[in-house]
Amino acid sequence: MKYPKHIDLDLSSKCNIRCRFCHLTFFSPKEITEFTKENIKKVEPLFKNLESITLFSKYEPLTCKDFIDIFKIIDSYNIESYFSTNGTLLKEDIANTIVGKLKYLTISITGFTKETYIKNMGVDRLETVKKNISYLNKLKKEKNTKYPILRISTVGLLDAIHELKLAIDFAKEIEAEEGIQVTSFKSFSSELNHLMPLNDKQYFTKTTDEAIEYAKKQNIKFILQSGSIVENQQKTEELGHKHCNMPWYRLSIQPNGDVYPCPVSNKTIGNIFSSPIYDIWKSNEMEKFRNGVNNLEEMNEDCKNCTHCRHRSITNINANDYSSKEKYIMGMKRK
Ligand code: SF4
Ligand code: SF4
């Protein structure tokens, strides 16, 4: 492909909270930084050919101080935009900027009672998030728009999935058209290892099956991001991950300028502050990476242990247990 059709742009490598399950609780990013309205110009040449853009991949995009200015630049192109946020910083100025323009917005919540929210997200802000969503929804009605289409994302920890029905009720209450997605949990600490679904496949399957039934009755969409355990095993059997075409149409760019061939890669293929972005897209490094994605004989190390929710095996211990690893994706190091 001549140009990437999609980019994953981490606007910031920070987060304002620390969830107990998050990589940021255990690992430090290579650099703690953010994009600005000035240096985003290095990425701008891509915008005219993009179909879609994701404004986050591993951190909280609303910690980027220039979020509003950068969003306005992106919105001046014909690009479908999406991001995920914990919702705590989704204040009125942000809602005023994105309503009617952003296509999809995911709010990440694990814990649907005051107590379980604090336990998982580390702060007492469930009510703040509800208030922020309520303002956003009010604005959508006033502007007579369905955008951004909402979705709730929740992490499928074995000690959190008993709340999936509450999550479905929550999605219904806030009129989340895209419903609920359950992300499969990777462990970054030996103290959390027992909460990975592969430790109790039967309970995970039973609980998620019940949630799927409940969601159907409530007319709420419900997605297990990695598929059911059985589906996931079938699709990852041959390669160790699902067949993947991401590096053929998308690029991942960090706020320190590093470019990666996919959002869960470890090996940078260039930096936008030292090379033009199109040269990086067409580089030998990128081509070499592509050749090792779905190739059993010469597979990239990243792809052997793919950590991408939609592609990895959820029963491969190497792709789910990071409790003793010193490094994590994109140059993160254990604290
Ligand atoms: S809100 Fe997201 S980025 Fe922030 S600590 Fe929680 S999981 Fe990590
Ligand atoms: S690491 Fe995973 S998501 Fe990335 S290119 Fe390889 S298989 Fe695809």
**CA nearest ligand 2 atom 6, residue:** 303
- How many CB atoms are located within 10 Å of the residue 60 CB? 25
What radius of gyration, in Å, describes the C-alpha atoms of the chain? 19
Ligand 1 site residues (CB inside 6 A) read: 15, 17-19, 22, 24, 59-60, 86, 108
Q: Is residue 1 part of a domain?
A: no
Pairing of the two strands 52-54 and 27-28: unpaired
CA of 257 to the centre of ligand 2 (A): 20
* Alpha-carbon span 156 to 174, nearest angstrom: 21
Q: How many whole angstroms from its chain centre is CA 329?
A: 13
Q: Give the angle subtended at the CA of 69 by the CAs of 65 and 70, to the nearest 5°.
A: 85
Q: What is the pTM of this model?
A: 0.94
The pLDDT value recorded for residue 242 is 84
**CA nearest ligand 1 atom 1, residue:** 86
Ligand 2 site residues (CB inside 6 A) read: 241, 244, 246-247, 262, 264-265, 293, 302-303, 306, 308, 311
Query: Tens-of-pLDDT digits for all 335 residues of the chain?
Result: 789 999 999 999 999 999 999 999 999 999 999 999 999 999 999 999 999 999 988 999 999 999 999 999 999 999 999 999 999 999 999 999 999 999 999 999 999 999 999 999 999 999 999 999 999 999 999 999 999 999 999 999 999 999 999 999 999 999 999 999 999 888 999 999 999 988 999 999 999 999 999 999 999 999 998 778 888 888 888 888 889 999 999 999 999 999 999 999 998 999 999 999 999 999 999 999 999 999 988 999 999 888 887 787 877 877 788 899 999 888 899 99
Q: Is residue 96 part of a domain?
A: yes
Q: Is residue 208 part of a domain?
A: yes
**CA nearest ligand 2 atom 2, residue:** 306
**CA nearest ligand 1 atom 6, residue:** 19
The pLDDT value recorded for residue 316 is 81
Mutating to test ligand 1, I would choose from 14, 57, 86 the residue with most ligand atoms within 8 A of its C-beta, which is 86
Residue 265 belongs to domain with CATH number: 3.20.20.70
- 3-state SS track over the chain: CCCCCEEEECCECCCCCCCCCCHHHHEECCCCCECCCCHHHHCHHHHHHCCEEECCCCCCHHHCCCHHHHHHHHHCCCCEEEEEECCCCCCHHHHHHHCCCCCEEEEECCCCCHHHHHHHHCCCCHHHHHHHHHHHHHHHHHCCCCCCEEEEEEECCCCCHHHHHHHHHHHHHCCCCCCEEEECCCECCHHHHHHCHHHCHHHHHHHHHHHHHHHHHHCCCEEECCCCHHHHHHHHCCCCECCCCHHHHEEEECCCCEEECCCCCCCCCEECCCCCHHHHHCCHHHHHHHHCCCCCCCCCHHHHCCCCCCCECCCCHHHCECCCCCEECCCEEEC
* Structural domain total, the chain: 1
Mutating to test ligand 2, I would choose from 293, 304, 310 the residue with most ligand atoms within 8 A of its C-beta, which is 293
Q: How far apart, in Å, do the first and last CA atoms of the chain sit? A: 39
**CA nearest ligand 1 atom 8, residue:** 22
What is the domain range of residue 219? 6-334
Mutating to test ligand 1, I would choose from 16, 23, 25, 60 the residue with most ligand atoms within 8 A of its C-beta, which is 60
Q: Is residue 212 part of a domain?
A: yes
CA of 19 to the centre of ligand 1 (A): 6
Residue positions counted in the chain: 335
Q: Is residue 50 part of a domain?
A: yes
Helices 229-236 and 201-218, axial angle in degrees (round to 10) = 110
